[in-house]
Amino acid sequence: MDIEYRMMNFEVLRERAMYKIILAIRYLLKRRIAYFAVLAVALCVFIVVIVMTVLTGLVTDFKQKNHSFVGDCVVGTESLVGFAYYEDFMKILERSDFVEEISPVIKSYALVSPVETERNVGVEIMGIDPVKHSQVTGFGQTLYYRKDDVSKAFEPAYEPNLAGCVIGIDLALQRDAKGRYPYGSGPTEMALSISCFPLTAKGALAKAGAGLVNTKTFYHSNNSESGLARVDGSMVYLPFEQAQLLCGMAGPVKRVNAIHIKFKPNMGLEAGCEEVDSLWQSFGREKADEKQAYLLEKVTVQSWKDYRRAFIAAMEKEQTMMTALFALVGITTVFIVFVVFYMIISHKSKDIGILKSIGVSNANIIKLFSGFAFLVGLLGSGVGVFAGWLFLLKINRIEDWLFARFEFQLWDRTIYAIGDIPNQVDAKVLAVIIFSAIVACWVGALVPSWQAAKQKPVETLQVTQL
C-alpha cells in the first residue's frame, strides 16, 4: 500500500515536472532569439576557458617549481649571519617519524669573477650537499649534466679533483626564441673567483683589517635550470663545506642559514610545519643558555608556500585581477539573457495565461523559466567549453604557425622563462566557469520570470488580447 502510494506520488510529480521540461526545450528550439543568448554565453565561456586555463597553468606550474626548489618546509633566518646548533636540531628532525629528508643550506651574496676577465657579477650563493638537497628538493632534476649521479654535481668532468660549482643557467647561457638553451656536450672549462664577506656571529666583518673578504676559485661543473627566472639568473651553488668556510660560518660553533625539510608522504603540509615549529620551540628553550642562543630567536618555520609567498602572491593577484575583469565583462551576458527572456515572456503571455488558468502556481512559472535559463546556460557553456578545449588543444601549434609565419609569440621566450603555453584544462576551473555561466543566466532570467509569474490569466486571456 505504502509502495503504491509512493509510486503514485512519484508519477504525479513526474507529470508535473514534465511540462516544465517540455516547455523549456520547446522555447529553446522554437524561439530563435534564444540562440543569441546561447551564443553570448558560449562566446564568454570560450574566452574565459582559454584565459583561465592558460593563467591557471602558469600559476600552477610556477607553484610546482617553487615547491620543487624549496622542499616542503624551511627552518631558517633571513639574516646572513645564520643560526648555530643546527646539527643538534637536525638530529631531532632525523629522529622524528614524519620527516623524510633534511638538507642544511648556506645562503649569502657573493661577487663572482670569471678568471682572466674583468667582469664582476653580484650573485646569490647557496651552499648545499647535492645528494641531501636532491632528496629534499628537485635540485637533482634541474641539473643538465650527469643528472643520474647527483653526487658528482660539484665535480667538473674535465678535472674531477677541482672544486666545482653549479651555475644558474641564465647566468651562463641565453635562451633562444624557442626558449631553449644552447648547451654544449659538457660544462665549459671556466674558473670563477668567488668572494664574499665572512660574518661573525654578531654580524660584524670577520676579517676586519685583513682584506675583509674570503675568495676562492671554483670551476664550472654543471648548470641548474629550475625554471624560476630569478633563481636561474642569480644563483651559484657551491659545496656546503666550502660555502660555510667562505661565509665565515665554519667556526667552532658552525652556522647555517636554513634547513630544508621534506615530509613523509602521509604527512600534510600544515600539520608537518606545525610539528616542526613545535620541535623548534622546545629546541630553542633547550638551547636558551647557550652562547649563541640569540641567533635562534630570528629563526622561523615556514611552509614552502609562505617561504615563497612574495613571488607566488604576485602571480595569484594577477589571476584574481583577470577574474575580476572577466566578471565585469560577463555582466553583458546577464543583460543579453535578461533581454532575450523579456522578449520571450512578452511573446508567450498566452502560454503563461493558460498554464496559470489550469492551476500552475507562480513558483512553478518561475521554475519553468529558471529551467529554460539553466538550459541556455548549460548549452552555451557546453559550446563554449568545447570550442575552448579545441582551441587549447591546438594553441601551441597555432603559436608555432604564427611564429613561423609572422614571428609572433604570445610571450617572447628570450625574455620569459616559459615553455609551451599551458593548455591542460583543469576540471575544477571548468566546473567553476560552467557554474558561473549558469548562475549568470539565472540572474538574467530572474526579473523576466518574476514578471511572468505576476501575469494574471484574466488579463492575458481576454478575448481582446487573443
Partner 1 sequence: MLKLFLWLRYLRKKKIVFLSIAAVALSVALLIVVSSLFTGFINVFEQSAVETIGDVVLAPPIRFAKYRVLIERLEQTSAVDAATATLSAQGLLYLGQGNVRRVSVWGIEPGPREKVTGFKRSLLKQKESPESPGEPSFKVSGFPEGIGGFVGVGVVAAPDEKTDEYDFDAVEKMVGQQVVLITGTVIENSKQEGTGGAGGRLKKKTVPFRIADIVFTGVYYVDKTFIYLPIEEVQKTLYPNEDGQIADQIQIKLAGDVEADVAKAQIRGVWKVFADEQLGWGPYLIRETSVKTAKQMQSQYVAELRKQMGVLLLIFVVVSISVVVLIFCIFYMIVSIKQRDIAIIKSCGTASSSVALIFVGFGACVGIIGSGIGAALGYVITKNINTIEEWIRIIFGLKLWKSSVYMFSKIPSEVNWVWALVFVLLAIVAAAIGTLIPAIVAARTRPVEILRYE
Enumerate residues 217-276 that contact partner 1 by CB under 8 A: 217, 219
Closest approach of partner 1 to the CB of residue 296, in Å:
14
Task: From 35-43, 284-292, 353-361, 395-403, give the range in contact with partner 1 by CB under 8 A.
Answer: 35-43
- Give 57 or 71: the residue with its C-beta nearer to partner 1: 57
Alpha-carbon span 265 to 262, nearest angstrom: 9
Contacts with partner 1 by CB under 8 A: the residue count is: 75
Q: Contacts with partner 1 in 182-221 (CB under 8 A)? A: 189-191, 193, 195-197, 199, 202-205, 211-213, 215, 217, 219
Q: Contacts with partner 1 in 48-77 (CB under 8 A)? A: 51
- Give 92 or 171: the residue with its C-beta nearer to partner 1: 171
- Give 26 or 347: the residue with its C-beta nearer to partner 1: 347
**CA atoms in the 13 A half-sphere facing the CB of 200:** 7
Query: Under the criterion CB under 8 A, does residue 432 sit at the interface with partner 1?
Result: no
- Give 185 or 266: the residue with its C-beta nearer to partner 1: 185
Closest approach of partner 1 to the CB of residue 359, in Å:
30
Q: Provide the mask over 327-366, with x wherever binding to partner 1 is found by CB under 8 A and - wherever it is not.
A: -xx-xxx-xx-xxx-xx--xx-------------------
Closest approach of partner 1 to the CB of residue 197, in Å:
5
- Give 339 or 366: the residue with its C-beta nearer to partner 1: 339
Closest approach of partner 1 to the CB of residue 376, in Å:
13
- Give 39 or 92: the residue with its C-beta nearer to partner 1: 39
- Give 120 or 361: the residue with its C-beta nearer to partner 1: 120
The residue within the footprint of partner 1, chosen from 3, 30, 122, 428 (CB under 8 A), is 122
Q: Contacts with partner 1 in 406-425 (CB under 8 A)? A: 408, 410-412, 414-415
β-sheet bridge partners, residue 114 = 192
Q: What is the radius of gyration, based on Cα positions, of the chain?
A: 32
Q: Contacts with partner 1 in 157-176 (CB under 8 A)? A: 158-159, 162
Closest approach of partner 1 to the CB of residue 5, in Å:
48
Closest approach of partner 1 to the CB of residue 84, in Å:
13
- Give 219 or 240: the residue with its C-beta nearer to partner 1: 219
Per-residue three-class SS string for the chain: CHHHHHHHHHHHHHHHHHHHHHHHHHHHHHCCHHHHHHHHHHHHHHHHHHHHHHHHHHHHHHHHHHHHHHCCEEEECCCCCCEECHHHHHHHHHHCCCEEEEEEEEEEEEEEEECCCCCCEEEEEEEECHHHHHHHCCHHHHECCCCCCHHHCCCCCCCCCCCEEEEEHHHHCCCCCCCCCCCCCCCCCCEEEEEECCECCCCCECCCCCCCCEEEEEEEEEEECCCCHHHHCCEEEEEHHHHHHHCCCCCCCCEECEEEEEECCCCCHHHHHHHHHHHHHHHHHHCCCCCCHHHHHHCEEEEHHHHCHHHHHHHHHHHHHHHHHHHHHHHHHHHHHHHHHHHHHHHCHHHHHHHHHCCCCHHHHHHHHHHHHHHHHHHHHHHHHHHHHHHHHHHHHHHHHHHHHHCCCCCCCCCCCCCCCCCCCCHHHHHHHHHHHHHHHHHHHHHHHHHHHHCCHHHHCCHHHC
- Give 7 or 447: the residue with its C-beta nearer to partner 1: 447
Closest approach of partner 1 to the CB of residue 172, in Å:
16
- Give 282 or 465: the residue with its C-beta nearer to partner 1: 465
* Residue 22 burial class via C-beta count within 10 angstroms: exposed 0-12, middle 13-18, buried 19 and up: exposed
Task: From 146-154, 177-185, 317-325, 354-362, give the range in contact with partner 1 by CB under 8 A.
Answer: 317-325
The residue within the footprint of partner 1, chosen from 4, 118, 148, 289 (CB under 8 A), is 118
The residue within the footprint of partner 1, chosen from 99, 105, 106, 123 (CB under 8 A), is 123
Closest approach of partner 1 to the CB of residue 113, in Å:
5
